[in-house]
Structures are given as structure tokens and as C-alpha cells.
Structure 1
Amino acid sequence: MTRACYAADPAAPRGREFPENREGARGPRSEFQRDRDRIIHSIAFRRLRSKTQVFIAPDGDHYRTRLTHSLEVAQIGRVIARALGLDEDLTEALCLAHDIGHPPFGHAGETALEEALAMRGGFDHNAQGLRMLMRLESPYIGHPGINLTWDLLEGLAKHNGPINAPGWALHELDEAFTLDLGNWPSLEAQVAAVSDDIAYDNHDIDDGLRAGFLDLDDLMQIDLLADRFREVERRFPSASRELQLRELVRSQIGAMVNDVIEHTRANVADVASVTEVREHSGRLAGFSPEMTTAERGLKRFMYDKLYYHPDQISAAEKARDVVGRLFAAYSQDANQLPRDWQAILPESEPNRSRKLADFIAGMTDRFAIDQCARIYGKVPDGLRNV
């Protein structure tokens, strides 16, 4: 499809933080394709396969992790980008990288690190993702990070909108390689953000049904889902209930994707460049007002029935305790760290605690559990709830 006038241009990216010598370049790829490939080949991306999406360190193989979630977000993002004439490679790269900064155990782990760094500037998973890609993972000779394009980093920094008061981590990175935090990001970044919403709104329903935390009666409390399920029953009256529910999730994703495409297309009808996108007064890519209201209702339902389920809260409290105990152990005795991390641990605060948080944030659920057991002899019972 022809690239739209408001799309990011892979032939004219706004550069990389560190100049690169392309002698012996590997294949005829655009700059955004290189970004995507660097993310896919990164250790940080591979670790997502063992990081919590909804359920903490699940025993079942069929539950989603941060990795499978990111792949599903990328699939949705590519569909929307193609329909709107956006750059699919940049959109895909943004979708794949959007959760790289999450610590083990998802939001429970993030809460523990926020508490640990409360007097050291705090912790934010989005800024941590940029810190990981720009400073911590350094496989190249001559510079830190994996040296992604400005366009990709800008989209990760502010995919949810302009940032007027960045925390310490994002502020440091912006000082080194300014990301124009006060403006809106590209449409590709905005599409990545709404694709994330579509994926977890619907796939978390799928996992909640699989785990027995949700059932059909629960879903019928939401008008949006009830109307769609009745349509599924009408079309497939002889199908099993399990297949009908899976069709419900698929049809709901399709409806949300179509809504985003239609609403965004109307919003950008008079937009002539990516510069106008960034200078616009508000978000251009997203749900219609009607779908926004319905989607917020769905989120409230999911928090009530799934995310804040007593079993989930209990497991999250135990996971938060694991991360908090790890931070305490490393703070008290740096010899508990691997030798390579001991060698780079700063002597003074706040950098010392922030470096400890870097180590913990990179952990998978399994590694965090193993380290807690190694140091303390055991981990809390009931950490897994599926």
C-alpha cells in the first residue's frame, strides 16, 4: 500500500544517537526494519517469554506471557498500520518493544521497585524500557544500547501522549538524545498504544476464562460483550460453548480494530505530514467516543472480576514481597550479585539503588523466584495461582 502523507518515512528517519558505519551492512533493510530486527534479537525481548502478563509464573503452557502478548499486539498494530498507510515496520517495532521495561511479576514487581526507589527518584516501567534499550543492553562495539532510531525511541517514550514532567530515568535519556517529550508522537506510536489496549482487553478475557476466573455469566454483564455473544450464538448455534467464547473474543478484536481504523481515518483526513501529527493538539489514532466509553466499561469489569480478584491480589502481594526482599538482600550485601554486576555497582546513592533496580527489573519471574529461594531458603507459598 502507498505510504500516507502523515506516515513516518523510513527513508528520512531523524537519526540515531550514535553514528554508525554501515560498511558490510547485513541486507537491504530500511532503518525501521533494522530497529525491529534489533529488538527481536535482543536479550531483553527474549526474557519477555518468562515475565507475567496476567497470571504470575503460571504452570500452564497456554497462558499468555509478556512475549506472546507483545507478538499479538504487533499483529494487531500491523493490520491497523497497513489500513491507514502507516509504516508497518515502525509500528511493529514499537509494539514488540513496548513492554521490555516490565520487571518480573508485572505490576506487582513494579510496585515493589517503586517502593524501593521511593527516595531515589522512583521507578517507571516505560522509562525502564528506554533505559534498557538505550543504555543497559549493549551488544555493539563502541556505544551503549542497541542504538535505535529517534523515531522508535520517541514513540516508546510518549506513546500515551506528551510528557511534561519526566522522571529521572527518562529525563537523563532525553538530556542525552532529546525526544521532544512535549509533543505528540507519530501515528505509528499512537496505533501501537491502542493495539496494546485491544490485545490485553480481549486476550486477558481469554486467559481469565481458561483459568476459571471468569465465566459466561460474568461476561454477559457487559452490554458490549452480551450483544456480540448473542450474535455469535445466532451464527453458530451448534458450536460448543468453548468455541463460541473464542469466537466472541475474535469478533470483539475485529470490531475494535475496525473502529480504530474508521475513527482514525476520519481524524487524519486533513493532516498532511508527520510533523502535523506531532504538533496536533490531541490524539489522532484511537477509538471512537462510543467505543472509548464501552472499552472503559470493559476495563472496569476486568479490574473488578480478574485483576483485583482475591486470588490475584494474594499472589501479587507475595510477588511484591519477593522483589522487595531481593532488593533488600542486594542492598545489604552486594556479594549476592553476579560478579559482573558487582563490578559496575556505584558506591554512592541514588545511582547504587538505581543500578540494583536495573538488575532486578531485568529478571524473569522464574529467575526472581530462584534467586529469592537461593538467598532466603524459600519463596512464599501461593505465588502461583493457576
Structure 2
Amino acid sequence: MAPLSPGSPAPPLEACGIDNKNSCPTIWFCARMAPSKTHRARNDPMAPISRRTLLGAAAALPLAAPALAAYPEQPVRVVVPWNAGGLADVLIRILAQPLSAALGQSVVIENRPGANGAVGTQAVARAAPDGHTLILANAETHAINPLIYPRLAYNAVSDFTPVTLFARGPFALILRPGLGAEDLAGFLGLVRSRPGQVSFASWGIGSTSHLAMEALAQQAGLQMLHVPFTGAAPASTAVFGGQVDCMFLNAGPAEALARDGKARILALGAAERLDLLPNTPTMIELGVPVESGNWFGLLGPARMPASIAQRLATVMAEALAAPALRAAFRGQAAIPAATSPEETGRFIAQDAARWASVVRDLNIRLE
């Protein structure tokens, strides 16, 4: 597939009301900005979990007691709208045991991939709003899909009840063995010398991995060939197998590939270096102002009682505060975070607004 052509420039920095380079919660990407302008939003809902968050969530529970008396009455099903083995799937399986213990019911993980996450997400939108069926959401399901699918079978706002955001996962730029670039500068020079010939994989048209590379191409003046796959696993397999040249991959799986000698990591799309990859620079450090990655959260169907959403958010925050679980997340290069249902809804709305200009610039429309 030929690369999508860049469109008009993004809105000015001031439009997003962000001024602190160390507090930006949006791991979509901050392309087209000078390195000194990389930023995080005020009142960051994805900031590390605070004591205030836990206490505030707990304080709301007495008001919800009548509706909670019988919840949960059966196993809680979390639909993961992507293939098994991706970062979202791994993280929710890490959370399943502590959530099950706290709720007194099994937490069942069900993978329902398809259409950039739309298939599984639509199924949850139609489920009973009793708190026993939840969707694992991210930027693709609730910010990007509504922009690229004109006939999307769900409304990302009105068909869901926000529960909580629980993690963000920065991307790493990886190359296939033998491509011939030793660092980011060498890679950019290589791509410029072969316009339209260097290929990149993604886990689907309009996915965050796709748009992150398009952002890099816009920022650095590159022409690349997009090769979409149906998931992160087949996309990364194509890279380390030598069929595709590069991709943006979640940093945890990227670290494992690099450790096994299957791929080279050039740089991180994070705002700062990660514990798992302390010697890997960020693209911002290297003078390329692109920040890329994703966020992950839980939502229920519309009309799910607020008391149940709050109960789930509280249980999630308590689980995410455990040192062992936080260490497990760090081992996947994921950054734990917890938000209230209200904060979650606001964050998703803001993220959708940010993605709108990106998708419009690239003119992506899917049936």
C-alpha cells in the first residue's frame, strides 16, 4: 500500500492547553513539535496512582451500597478486541487474578479480534449493562475507529459507560536484522535515500502503530511503504523474519525481540527512558519530536449503574497499587495508572479530539 500523503499542519500547541513536558498523559504522539515542547496535560488523569485517587474512590462506595449488594453475581467477562498475545491481552491477564480475588468471582478474558477492535467492541456495546461484560478499550476502539469507519456499528460515547484507564504503553521503533541502519539518524538517511521502498508493518490500517509511523514520516520528510497485518504478533513476525523492514511495536515485546537478537531497537516513543530499556534513547532525545504509544482502559455498556463502575474503578486502583503488579507491568514496559469513571470519560473525549486532526490529515476512511 502506498504511503498516505500528509495534509495540513496540526493545530497550534496552545490549542491543547499543555505546557509541562513531563506530564502529558496522551501516548498517541506529539509530532510536529519542537523537542522542548513535548508535554503532558494539566490535571493529568493518567498520572501515577495517588493516595487521593484511592481514598476518593473508596469514599464513593457507601453511596453505592444498594446497587452493589448482589454484584457480581457471576463471572465478569472482559472482551479483548484483539488477538491473544498483544500487550493489552498480557496486561489484563496480569490483572485478572487480583481482580477475581477482590470481586469474589472469576474474571474471564475473551479475545474477539477484527476490524481494528470494532468487532469485540460492538459486542460489548450490545451486552447487558449489569457489569458482567466489559471491553478493554484503547485509542483505536474509542478515538480512532469513529473517525475512520463512517458506518461504525457502535457510538464510542453513548454506547459505553467509562470505568477506568489502567495503563499506557510506549512504542519502540524496531528494524529487521540486516537492514543496514545502526541508529535513528542512519535509519532516517536510509529511508530518504530509498523513497517509497522501505516498508513498515502495523497491526492494521488506522491503528496506532500505523499512525505513529505516518507521524514520523511527516515529521522527518519520509516516503515509506505501509504493510498492514491483523495483529501485533504477525506484524512483528514479518519484521524479524525479514519480510518487512521496520515498525512501531509496544516496547515490552520489542525488548524481548532485541534480547533474542531478532530485531534492533533504534529509539523509544516515550517521553522519557523506560526501566526495562534504560540504555535506549527516546526519539525526543535524538532530536525527532515524535511520541508514540497507546493507552488501555475498561468500559462497560451504556446504562451500567454508576455504582458498579465506581466499584470496578476502585478495585482496579487497589490492584494497580500493589508493588508486585506494578513490577509485572514494568516488565512489559507498561506504565500503570488509574482514573475515576469521570476522569476516564473526559480523557477519552480529549483523546478523540486530538486524533481527529491526524486522521483528517491522512484522509483515512474504511468500510
TM above 0.5, yes or no, is: no
Q: Which structure is higher in strand share?
A: 2
TM normalised by structure 2 equals 0.27
Higher RCO, Cα 8 Å, sep 6+? 2
